[in-house]
Amino acid sequence: MTPEVKVSENVAALLKKPLRPGEDFIQVLLVACALVSVLTTVGIILALLGDALRFFATPGFSWWDFLTGTYWEPGSGHFGILALITGTLMTSLVAMVVAVPVGMAIGIYLSEYASARVSRVLKPVLEILAGIPSIVYGYFAINFVTPSLQAMMGDLVKPLNALSAGIVMGILILPLIASMAEDALGAVPKSLKQAGFAMGATKLEVALHITLPAATSGIVAAIILGLSRAIGETMIVALAAGSFPRVSFNPLGSVDTMTGYIVRTSGGDIPQTSIEYMGIFAIGLTLFLITLGLNMMSRRIIEHFREVYE
């Protein structure tokens, strides 16, 4: 009736840890997998530093010129990275001017107003926009946006210009901002909103004066992340923004960005020992540090300033 359980005489042996080499081996394997990601970062840093340092050590290079010079032409001794940075900043700023207001408006709308029916249409649209590869946006910029701008403003708009690239980049980024804003707003406890409604506030007043400020940290983080994305974006600017590596503040004309320059220069067949080649890595290093800084700032803001309600 009751099942016989065979228990050996030596209980200590019974409970002893058996050798489980399989378990240990698997654990080692898993740690190795996790270390690959560490190796990746090490690889990136080495890859960038290697040639960047060689670049900085080239005779004729001056840090002063690097940081303040106004045009980038290493072959003829001009090392002004500002030229590329202003290009990047211009296109990114245009992108943010497009993406932030539109993205936030959509985020507020989705979070506070939209019915299920509208959400069901709008959300997939946003996901599709976010999923379109940037090269497609680049094509769109030179074949549709630039001609449209030219139709509107005539000759002022050059065939390759920062405005087109920026606008299209904005469209690329706005789904990111919209969804992060929506998440941030959705995380605000309902009790806060209900307190507002209970005082007789309208939906708009609750959304703008209560919910929005309560989600500030999430929204600021979203904007910084969007900026970082814009700065690192390559194909749109490579196709549409131009190749004019001098400091310029005219959005209707050609500019050069850090990413565009790298792609253009490395796409060709330049010798590995040339100064242009090494220069790419110096630019890459700068780009890496800028985006890393922005990303870390964004995460810091979420972690440290996250409003605590409960």
Partner 1 sequence: MNLDNTAGLDLKNVNIHYGDFHAVHELSMDFQSREVTALIGPSGCGKSTLLRSLNRMNDLIPSAKTTGEIVFHGKNVYDTDVDPVQVRRWIGMVFQKPNPFPKSIFENVAWGARINGYKGDMEELVVTSIQRVALWDEVKDKLQKPALALSGGQQQRLCIARTIAVQPQIILMDEPTSALDPISTAKIEDLLDELKKSYTIIIVTHNMQQAGRVSDKSAFMLTGVLEEFGTTNEIFFNPKNPKTEAYISGRFG
Partner 2 sequence: MSDFHPNEKGRKRTAGLWNVVFLAATLVGVLSLVTLVTSLIDSCFGYVVLQDAYAYSEVSVAPDKALASLTKDELVQTLRTTAEADLTDLTTGRLRLLEMDRPLEVRTEDDLRNLVITEVLKSEIKKSWSLMESLSQAPAITEFQKSRYPDGHLAFRSWLSPEFLTKAQSGGKAESNGLRGAIIGSLWIILIAIVIAFPIGLGSAIYLEEYASDNWLNRLIQTNIYNLAGVPSIIYGMLGLAIFVRLMGPITSGAIFGVQDVNGRTVFSAGLTLGILILPIIIINAQEALKAIPNSLRYSSYGVGATKWQTIWHHVIPASMDRILTGTVFAVSRAIGETAPLVVIGASAFLTLDPSGLFSKFTTLPIQIFTWSQMASPEFRHVAAAAIVVLLVLLLGLNAVAIYFRTGIQKAKDAL
Residue 97 interacting partner from partner 2, partner 1, none (CB closer than 5 to 8 Å by kind): none
Residue 252 interacting partner from partner 2, partner 1, none (CB closer than 5 to 8 Å by kind): none
Q: Which of residues 18-37 bind partner 1 (CB under 8 A)?
A: 18
Q: How far is the CB of 273 from partner 2 (least distance, A)?
A: 12
Residue 126 interacting partner from partner 1, partner 2, none (CB closer than 5 to 8 Å by kind): partner 2
Residue 41 interacting partner from partner 1, partner 2, none (CB closer than 5 to 8 Å by kind): partner 2
Contact predicate 158/105, CB 8 Å: no
| Cα angle 237-299-303, degrees, rounded to a multiple of 5 | 160
Question: Which tokens in the block code for residue 240?
Answer: 């549409």
Residue placing its CB nearer to partner 2 in the complex, 70 or 109: 109
Residue placing its CB nearer to partner 2 in the complex, 157 or 283: 283
Residue 7 interacting partner from partner 2, partner 1, none (CB closer than 5 to 8 Å by kind): partner 1
Contact predicate 94/253, CB 8 Å: no
Residue placing its CB nearer to partner 2 in the complex, 69 or 260: 260
Residue placing its CB nearer to partner 2 in the complex, 199 or 249: 199
Q: How far is the CB of 14 from partner 1 (least distance, A)?
A: 7
Stretch near partner 1 under the rule CB under 8 A, chosen from 3-11, 40-48, 54-62, 216-224: 3-11
Distance CA 93, CA 81 (A): 18
Torsion of CA 186, 188, 191, 196, to 10 degrees: -100
Q: Side chain identity at 50, as an amino acid letter? A: G
Residue 12 interacting partner from partner 1, partner 2, none (CB closer than 5 to 8 Å by kind): partner 1
Contact predicate 220/299, CB 8 Å: no
Q: What angle separates helix 21-56 from helix 275-305, to the nearest 10 degrees?
A: 120
Please name which of 134, 129, 103 lies closest in space to residue 241, comparing C-alpha atoms. 134
Tell me how crowded residue 78 is: count the other CB atoms within 10 A of its CB.
16
Give how many residues touch partner 1 by CB under 8 A.
Answer: 13
Q: How far is the CB of 286 from partner 2 (least distance, A)?
A: 11
Please name which of 192, 137, 194 lies closest in space to residue 168, comparing C-alpha atoms. 137
Q: Which residues bind partner 1 (CB under 8 A)?
A: 2-5, 7, 9, 11-12, 14-18
